[in-house]
Structure 1
């Protein structure tokens, strides 16, 4: 009986104050201007494609980033739209990449996408894998 009274009181409170407003969420992955520019170059063409970012078990530290172009969205993929670029975050990797920044870096020897992830606790010597 007691919980029923609480439920009725909560319903009255919601009705008295109107409907609840949903607040916009922060994107799970943030893209830098360099990453957006490079992704626009890579995905230009006849068929629009999305970049899917995921994490797989690999390397001496346990996890490694995985990226692939796809033309279909997964049912549970988290969608990040930023400045005309759409990146899909695999639902299994969401907690691992949450709050990360994806950058594109070019130097004299290489050009690559780099993730700045606040959840990483350690990396291996070569930098290919990480621990959360």
Structure 2
């Protein structure tokens, strides 16, 4: 499987990579946090590490470290705007539950 971006998410990432003037793609990961156990991490990647898995999605490199891959495999990352709120949304088939505040999840 893979980790993919929607066209809206890819456009948003490309725009920010251009503004930064550097970067090879978007790094996704998970960390232990929150009331449900895990939280998503997003950051711009300036390099690919030897243990990273890399996919190209809508023209953007998506980079995931080996430890995070079992939790993120099959995930689609979207970028949405609803009223005054905008941001990335994870559509993760591995999620079993999410905390009420939406900051953490459980697999």
Task: Report the TM-score when normalising by structure 1.
Answer: 0.75
Q: Which runs of 5+ in 1 are unaligned?
A: 1-25
Partner deviation per Cα, 1:26-80 (whole Å, 9 max, x = no partner): 4x21211111111111111432332110000000000000011121111111101
Pairs within 5 Å for 1:16-95: 26=1, 28-45=2-19, 46-95=21-70
Considering only CA atoms, is the larger Rg found in Structure 1 or Structure 2?
A: 1
Which structure 2 segments of 5+ residues have no match?
none
More helix per residue: 1
Q: Secondary structure at the match of 1:35?
A: helix
Aligned CA-pair RMSD: 1.2
1:90 Cα deviation (Å)? 1.6
Q: Which has the higher strand share?
A: 2
Q: How many residues align?
A: 106
Q: How far apart, in 1, do the equivalents of 2:23 and 2:44 lie?
A: 10
